[in-house]
Amino acid sequence: MIKTAPATTASARMRAAFSEGRLTWSGVALTVFSILVYLFLYAPIILLVIFSFTRDEFGVRWTGFTLDWYIRLFNNPRMMGAAWNTLVVATISTIVSTIIGTLLAMAMERYRFRGRGAVEGLIYLPIVVPEIVMAVALLAFSAIVFDLIKLVTGETLRRSLATVTIGHIAFSISFVVVVVRTSLKNFDRRLEEAAADLGADSWNIFWRITFPLILPGIVGGALLAFTLSLDDFIISLFLSGPGTSLLPVEVYNRVRRAVTPEINAISTLMLLLSMALVAISQLLQRRR
Amino acid sequence: MSDSIAIELRDVVKRFGDVVAVDHVNLQIRDGEFFSLLGPSGCGKTSSLRMIAGFELPTFGSIIIHGREMGITPPHLRPVNTVFQSYALFPHMTVAQNIAFGLEMRKTPKEEIARRVQEALDLVRLSGLEGRRPRQLSGGQQQRVALARALVNHPEVLLLDEPLGALDQKLRKEMQLELKSLQARVGITFVFVTHDQEEALTMSDRIAVMNKGKILQIGTPTEIYERPNCRFVADFIGETNFIDGVVIGRDGNYTVLETPEGLRLRGLASRPLSNGTTATFSIRPEKVRLLTPNGELPPDGIAGTVISVNYIGSDTRITVRINDRRTIDVWEQNTRSTLDRDEYWQPGEAAVIVCPPDNALVLYE
Amino acid sequence: MAMLQQQQQRRDRIRLALLLTPGLLWLILFFALPLVIIFVYSFMSNDALGRVVYEPTLNNYITIFTQSLYINAYWRSIWTSVLTTVICLLIGYPLAVFIARSPQQWRMPLLMLILIPFWTNFLVRIYAWQIILANNGIINGFLELIGVGRLSLLNNEGATLIGLIYGELPFMVLPLYAAIDRFDFTLMEAAADLGANKVQAFLRIMLPMTMPGIVAGSVLVFIPTLGQFVVSELLGGAKVDYLGNLIQRLFLRANPINWPLGSAMAVLMMIVLLVFIMLYFRATTEEER
């Protein structure tokens, strides 16, 4: 193939693309449709961010630029505390569920054992159970457990961030397993055989061959777990106690009463933080 | 082979952005021919095939099938069928359903579909496997299903995109012969794309050798092999010896070439070359004769020394050094048993090679 | 020789145990067990103070099947979930095709772009829709500008649907993308080569082969939608009761709270789901035969 100069003007190029079959009406329609869908997805987000800067105290119109809400936010320990809690819960939940989930995924993909079907069912059950069912189940469970503990030790435990985190981990594990299993399925085991042939023991094989190659899958699962936890409302609502504050619950309570753009401000900050975390993880990945 | 033209490419150009994949290709394929497009990867052969099928549209030029200009006609309305390199069998359908697909699309009545599917299966010798799924078949079987699926529609032309690439050597050779006899039986024009020159030589009625988007030569296998018109074709097809030099004159039908070391070689040129032109002398190893020196140098003879003798089984390949810079490969067919061959060429022996000018070429570029 | 094998087997078994234990323990303790408790509770009753009384009874289930409040909630939730799933499919499939056919280097970013809205808060995004759809909100402002006048966009079923679709779309797109990405588009060329126009090629080849993705996406959308309650409250104006509203009320807000009845509703919801999923699987995988 040799290179020659392309058609010059934009309209000439478009006509060439159409006649060569590279551009089609269905292709254009698909692109336009997809752009509209992305706009649909981002309209609320963009508005959210923009209206975090508006003077309008209801946050529904643009009446001028201000940073007041951010200032008020930083002086609002409850909101900041709630945001911080949410992030901490999400982080812990992600770390624990990713580890547990990866271990499970390896067990399911690499070993044959009796009762495999039952284990598989148990792992995938959380995906099939609606969150509200899980939430009320955990609520009832925690009530019984606290009663038992009170009976045995006299200590009164209450629902707290810990209970929420436990719940988040419980439903995140399954999603991590799904993602990591896909990664493992696509993994070429001959690479491990080659490493063994070159003298690596199973520990080395795992850490230096398998792990780096399934890392994208693990990171994907972790991102999913993080997303699910950060976004979760139902379990947080049912499992948080009087003392704990989580962002979703805070917002829920406020939204039902009176809303100020402080909510916009905190959401914008959360969004930036999450995006920064993902960017960092991508950079770390690329460094390898 | 009739004289009517099945497919014509008229001044076809295909650009992908800045890259020209097919560069002003002109081509006429006759009805009933087994025609191959041969060339290295990226030479434009697959692009040309896809334009005939309708998966790509030419940037410029016309694709004409049996006299009808195809224009922007989409693939599903063209009277051709394709056998894909990856076979592209529908995994969720059985062999029979795969083969029946094209007939279903044309609303053929059910009984006729059943009958023609059975015919197609018999044609490719796969009867009995109707109910299997593609993943249950071997590579060779899948290939034959792809063939049947295309042929059952009685297309005017069958296009094959390197269909034998995924098969192992032995199976490949078997399928080459099978395809050739199939084509002869069915009588449909086959347009076959491959990068394997042996394959093209075995199966084709005519071959078009392509490189960098251009057609370099079109001819029968013997024409392409014995009379390549340029260095690329001579090099791409089979093996050959090349010696560079400068044209210094003519000797009857032959053109004379002088090498930097002063060797004078005679050969046939495909077109008149003026003196002083840089050209390449080309002779195939099996055409070179090897003689023991006996005093006088025969015409077209060059003295040299045997460097290596390689026994291949059916022939022996000998490399002869003729001066500081050049070696010539000579292939001798082992027409008699090599077991009791005690006096044969040894490395270090003096020898004379003879390049009969009738079997030698002088090529430009 | 046998000794080595036995040693290897034992090592393998220990490894397997180590891999399985944390996960199994967590899931059994914090997932399976609570579900069992709920199941048991569904057959209990409660006292005036809202505490569970351990006297087995079928009253809860009878209540659900006989009182229209509950029956309506079930039908409404099922219908809304089906609608949401179908619309998400209609929107998500073309989008997934778009991403799968994009140049390689754009695919990851495009997928991430779908996930990023999820890193704001779910409730806040619902709240943002409130702003958009409000009487003095963006859309109405625009409609006034072009002379159409204000429409009541909020506090109705339509708003609820928008909110649900908005929230579930990524869960439809991701599995669809995975299936479409695996799909070999050469098969579409082969179909065209054999005489199929674009519609036929899609229906006979692409659709059946991406069915696993469709099923996965549909299941992932249908399930959470069935149990939702916040979206209908905030965007639908809390005018009608969905399953989630009733369960939430029974567990948290009612006076007295009625955990057994709520548990029965939850159990029934699970049964509805299982039935739906089984029927769905049966319907879609039979096409393959």
Bridge partners (DSSP) listed for residue B309: B318
Give the mean model confidence (pLDDT) for residues A110-123: 85
Confidence at residue B105, expressed as pLDDT on a 0 to 100 scale: 92
Contact B84 C205 (CB under 8 A): no
Proportion of chain A above pLDDT 90, given as a percent: 18
B88, B17, B8, B6: which is closest to B48 by C-alpha?
Answer: B8
Confidence at residue A138, expressed as pLDDT on a 0 to 100 scale: 93
Angle CA(A94)–CA(A98)–CA(A101) in degrees, nearest 5?
A: 135
pLDDT in tens, C216-241: 899 889 999 999 988 988 888 878 88
Partners of A223 on chain C (C-beta within 8 Å) are 115
Annotate chain A with DSSP letters as a single string: -EE-PPP-SHHHHHHHHHHHTSS-HHHHHHHHHHHHHHHHHHHHHHHHHHGGGBS-TTSSS---B--HHHHHHHT-HHHHHHHHHHHHHHHHHHHHHHHHHHHHHHHHHH---TTHHHHHHHHHHHHHS-HHHHHHHHHHHHHHHHHHHHHHH-------HHHHHHHHHHHHHHHHHHHHHHHHHTS-HHHHHHHHHTT--HHHIIIIIIHHHHHHHHHHHHHHHHHHHHH--HHHHHH--SS---HHHHHHHHHHS---THHHHHHHHHHHHHHHHHHHHHHHHHH-
Give the mean model confidence (pLDDT) for residues B357-362: 92
Confidence at residue A20, expressed as pLDDT on a 0 to 100 scale: 65
Confidence at residue A34, expressed as pLDDT on a 0 to 100 scale: 94
- With beta carbons less than 8 A apart as the criterion, state whether B86 and B163 touch: no
pLDDT in tens, A82-109: 888 888 999 999 999 999 999 999 888 8
Contact A3 B20 (CB under 8 A): yes
Confidence at residue C1, expressed as pLDDT on a 0 to 100 scale: 62
Give the mean model confidence (pLDDT) for residues A64-74: 82
Give the mean model confidence (pLDDT) for residues C198-227: 92
Contact A169 C30 (CB under 8 A): yes
Confidence at residue A5, expressed as pLDDT on a 0 to 100 scale: 46
User: At which residue do the structure tokens 């006509």 appear?
Assistant: A15
Confidence at residue B84, expressed as pLDDT on a 0 to 100 scale: 94
Give the mean model confidence (pLDDT) for residues A39-44: 90
Give the 3-state secondary structure of A153-184. HCCCCCCCHHHHHHHHHHHHHHHHHHHHHHHH
Q: What is the reported pTM?
A: 0.82
pLDDT at C289 over 60: no
Confidence at residue C286, expressed as pLDDT on a 0 to 100 scale: 57
Confidence at residue A287, expressed as pLDDT on a 0 to 100 scale: 61
**B 189-248 residues with CB < 8 A to A:** 212-213
Higher pLDDT, B23 or A224: B23
Give the mean model confidence (pLDDT) for residues C119-138: 79
Q: How confident is the model at residue B41 (pLDDT cuts 50, 70, 90)?
A: very high
Confidence at residue A2, expressed as pLDDT on a 0 to 100 scale: 35
Confidence at residue C253, expressed as pLDDT on a 0 to 100 scale: 82
- Hey, is the C-beta of C68 within 8 angstroms of any chain B C-beta? no
Question: How far apart are the two ends of chain C, measured CA to CA in Å?
Answer: 48
- Hey, is the C-beta of B44 within 8 angstroms of any chain A C-beta? yes
Question: Average per-residue pLDDT in chain A?
Answer: 82
Confidence at residue C128, expressed as pLDDT on a 0 to 100 scale: 83
Work out the minimum CA distance from A228 to partner chain C, whole angstroms. Answer: 8
Confidence at residue A112, expressed as pLDDT on a 0 to 100 scale: 81
Q: How confident is the model at residue B91 (pLDDT cuts 50, 70, 90)?
A: very high
Contact C22 A238 (CB under 8 A): no
Give the mean model confidence (pLDDT) for residues B223-248: 93
**Residue of C186, C197, C200 lying closest to B86 (CB–CB):** C186
pLDDT at C287 over 50: no
Q: How far apart are CA A21 and CA A216, in angstroms?
A: 36
Contact C194 B84 (CB under 8 A): no
- Hey, is the C-beta of A60 within 8 angstroms of any chain C C-beta? yes
Chain A to chain B Cβ contacts (< 8 Å): 37
- With beta carbons less than 8 A apart as the criterion, state whether C271 and C265 touch: no
Confidence at residue C285, expressed as pLDDT on a 0 to 100 scale: 66
Give the mean model confidence (pLDDT) for residues A132-157: 88
Q: Which of A257-271, B134-148, B193-207 has the lowest mean pLDDT?
A: A257-271
Q: Which of A147-151, A163-167, B114-118 has the lowest mean pLDDT?
A: A147-151
Contact B58 A20 (CB under 8 A): yes
Give the mean model confidence (pLDDT) for residues B98-103: 94
Proportion of chain C above pLDDT 70, given as a percent: 98
Its sign, for the CA torsion B295, B301, B304, B305, is negative
pLDDT in tens, B238-268: 999 999 999 998 888 899 999 888 888 999 9
Work out the minimum CA distance from B242 to partner chain A, whole angstroms. Answer: 25
- With beta carbons less than 8 A apart as the criterion, state whether C28 and A125 touch: no
pLDDT in tens, B312-335: 989 999 999 998 888 999 999 988
Q: Which of A62-76, B227-241, B248-262 has the lowest mean pLDDT?
A: A62-76
Q: How confident is the model at residue A110 (pLDDT cuts 50, 70, 90)?
A: confident
Work out the minimum CA distance from A180 to partner chain B, whole angstroms. Answer: 26
Higher pLDDT, A96 or A196: A96
Give the mean model confidence (pLDDT) for residues B33-54: 95
Give the mean model confidence (pLDDT) for residues B70-76: 91
Confidence at residue A35, expressed as pLDDT on a 0 to 100 scale: 94
Confidence at residue C99, expressed as pLDDT on a 0 to 100 scale: 94
Give the mean model confidence (pLDDT) for residues B67-84: 93
Work out the minimum CA distance from A107 to partner chain C, whole angstroms. Answer: 6
Contact C131 A60 (CB under 8 A): yes
In terms of average pLDDT, the best of A25-29, B187-191, C131-135, C136-140 is B187-191
Contact C121 A173 (CB under 8 A): no
Higher pLDDT, C145 or C245: C245
Give the mean model confidence (pLDDT) for residues A167-193: 86
Residue B195: both structure tokens together: 């990068």
Contact B106 C195 (CB under 8 A): yes
pLDDT at C67 over 70: yes
- With beta carbons less than 8 A apart as the criterion, state whether B162 and B23 touch: no
**A 38-57 residues with CB < 8 A to C:** 38, 40-45, 47-48, 51
B28, B18, B16, B6: which is closest to B58 by C-alpha?
Answer: B16
Q: How confident is the model at residue B2 (pLDDT cuts 50, 70, 90)?
A: low
pLDDT at A61 over 80: no
Give the mean model confidence (pLDDT) for residues A210-228: 84
Give the mean model confidence (pLDDT) for residues B280-294: 92
Number of Cβ within 10 Å of residue A159's Cβ equals: 20
Question: Average per-residue pLDDT in chain B?
Answer: 92
Confidence at residue C210, expressed as pLDDT on a 0 to 100 scale: 93
Confidence at residue C108, expressed as pLDDT on a 0 to 100 scale: 85
Confidence at residue A3, expressed as pLDDT on a 0 to 100 scale: 36
Q: Which of A253-257, B7-11, C27-31 has the lowest mean pLDDT?
A: A253-257
- Give the H or E element holding residue B61: strand B60-65
Work out the minimum CA distance from A20 to partner chain C, whole angstroms. Answer: 16
Confidence at residue A202, expressed as pLDDT on a 0 to 100 scale: 76
Q: Which of A70-79, A271-280, B98-107, B146-155 has the lowest mean pLDDT?
A: A271-280
Q: How far apart are CA B249 and CA B252, in angstroms?
A: 10
Give the mean model confidence (pLDDT) for residues A159-187: 87
Partners of A168 on chain C (C-beta within 8 Å) are none
Give the mean model confidence (pLDDT) for residues C87-105: 94
